[in-house]
Structures are given as C-alpha cells and as structure tokens.
Amino acid sequence: MSLFEIKHRYSGEILFSLETKSLKLCVEASVKAGANLADAYLADANLADAYLADAYLAGANLADAYLADANLTRANLAGANLTRANLTDANLADANLAGANLADAYLADANLTRANLAGSILESRMTVYEWAKKNALPMRTIDNRTLLMAWRTQNQPHMRGENYEIGKLYTAEPFSMCPVTSCHPGRYIDTQGDMAVALWLDEALLAGSGDDAKVRCKRFYTVGLKAAHDCDRIFNDLQPDVLEV
C-alpha cells in the first residue's frame, strides 16, 4: 500500500489522498466520496476502466491520460485538458465537455451520446511553449517546471487605467481555462510591450483563434520595464518563490 495524492494543478494543494494500491483506486475513491477535483493534476495517469461517473473534473489536466474503457457518464470535464488522452471505448454519455481541449485525443468507439461538446477543441493548435519558442521568449527550467518571460503593457486598460507595480505578483481570480474565447478572466501576456513579466508555462493557455488569439495565464510577476534594459538579468536571477501566493 502506498499513499497517493491528487493535487491541484496550480497551487499544489492536496485535493484528495488515500493509502491504496494505485492512483486509479485513489481517483475512484475520491469520486465516490464526492470530492471536488476541479483543476486536478492527473496528466499521464493510468485510469483505464476506472469508474468515474459523475466526477467533477472541470479544468483538470488529463493530458496524455490513459482512460480506455473508463466510465465518465455525467462527468463534468468542462475546460479540462484532454490533449492526447486515450479515450478508446470510454463512456462519456451526458458528460460536460464544454470548452475541453481534446486535440489529438484518441476517441475510437467512445460513447459521446448527449455529451456537451460546445466550444471544445478537437483539432491540434499551437501550445504556449510553441508560441514562446516561435517568438524567442526567454525560458528557464526550475524543478521540472518552465518559467517564461513575456511582455505586456504596464497600464491596465480594463482596470480604470491603473498601472502594474514592478516587483509584485498579480493573480487572476477567477481564472478561465476556456481555450475558445480570448476575453475570459485571467492575466494576459504578449510578445511585446513596455513591461516584462514572469510566469509558469503550465499556468498559461492560448485562447481564441487566428488574429484574436491571446495568451492568458493564472498569475504573473512583474519583472521590470523595458526602458531599464535589465529585464533579462532580473529574470535569470529570479527565485521561484516570488510566484508563490
């Protein structure tokens, strides 16, 4: 028997834990107990044949998860990341998949009867990592996570014209994981602007499409102003605890 923990994908908060034989049994027990698994981190999880009917997994990270033959009837997977997930023969009848990212997911023989697929993504799209690489934005790896430096304007046009202060952490409450609409709640970043910000790559997503696409993140730390010409140095010296809430 081992202790298995289901953690929040952003805060690291433990949403559910159990001493059992596998992560699958832990997840099944959490669903049976009615646990709120919104924004859970379950990427790469082996949940084949799991009984997850009525599970609340809105916004969960299930990228690359193995969910073949899983029972997900009536599950709330709104805004969930299911990229490359294997859902062969999975039962998703009456599931809420609104805004879910199903790009490159394998759905052979999956039951999607009456499933809500409004705004879901079924085709591949550029990831934030690809966006950052394409625009030559600085990145650093810290404890298996990627820290990104991007840009934006110091002025907040939608916040009564107030300016961001340098050296502060700004968090979006609430934060929308919907990848379809580019104007949902969150902090927005760009490839240009007069102020550099630092953020975790796994807390950002590319929302919208075409010319309207924007990158939205959960939180960022204001690094400095471009005019000071020292943003790269500050970013390279930045300690990860400045992004802790």
On whether both 185 and 90 belong to a single domain, the answer is no
On whether both 119 and 161 belong to a single domain, the answer is no
d(CA 152, CA 210): 19
d(CA 221, CA 158): 19
What does the pLDDT look like over 131-168, one tens digit per residue? 999 999 999 999 889 999 999 999 876 655 678 999 99
Smallest CA-to-CA distance from 79 within 104, 53, 56 is with: 56
On whether both 66 and 146 belong to a single domain, the answer is no
d(CA 70, CA 51): 6
Q: Tokens for 46, please give them.
A: 């082996």
On whether both 70 and 101 belong to a single domain, the answer is yes
What does the pLDDT look like over 47-99, one tens digit per residue? 999 999 999 999 999 999 999 999 999 999 999 999 899 999 999 999 999 98
On whether both 75 and 193 belong to a single domain, the answer is no
d(CA 245, CA 243): 6
On whether both 135 and 194 belong to a single domain, the answer is yes
Strand 204-207 versus strand 214-217 pairing type: antiparallel
Q: Which of 107, 124, 141 is the last residue of a domain?
A: 124
d(CA 126, CA 118): 20
Farthest-apart Cα atoms in the chain, separation: 57
pLDDT at residue 185, rounded to an integer: 86
R_g over Cα of the chain? 19
Classify residue 234 as exposed, middle or buried by CB count within 10 Å of its CB (0-12, 13-18, 19+).
middle
On whether both 104 and 155 belong to a single domain, the answer is no
Which residues form the domain of 163?
128-243
On whether both 96 and 184 belong to a single domain, the answer is no
Q: Which of 80, 108, 124 is the last residue of a domain?
A: 124
pLDDT at residue 126, rounded to an integer: 78
On whether both 117 and 134 belong to a single domain, the answer is no
On whether both 71 and 177 belong to a single domain, the answer is no
| Domain CATH code at residue 13 | 2.160.20
DSSP string, 155-177: B-TTTTTPBPPTT-EEE-SS---
On whether both 59 and 133 belong to a single domain, the answer is no
Q: Is 227 left (phi over 0), alpha (psi -120 to 50) or beta?
A: alpha
**Residue owning tokens 């834990």:** 17
Q: Which of 99, 124, 149 is the last residue of a domain?
A: 124
Is pLDDT larger for residue 73 or for residue 123? Answer: 73
On whether both 176 and 97 belong to a single domain, the answer is no
Q: How many domains does the chain have?
A: 2
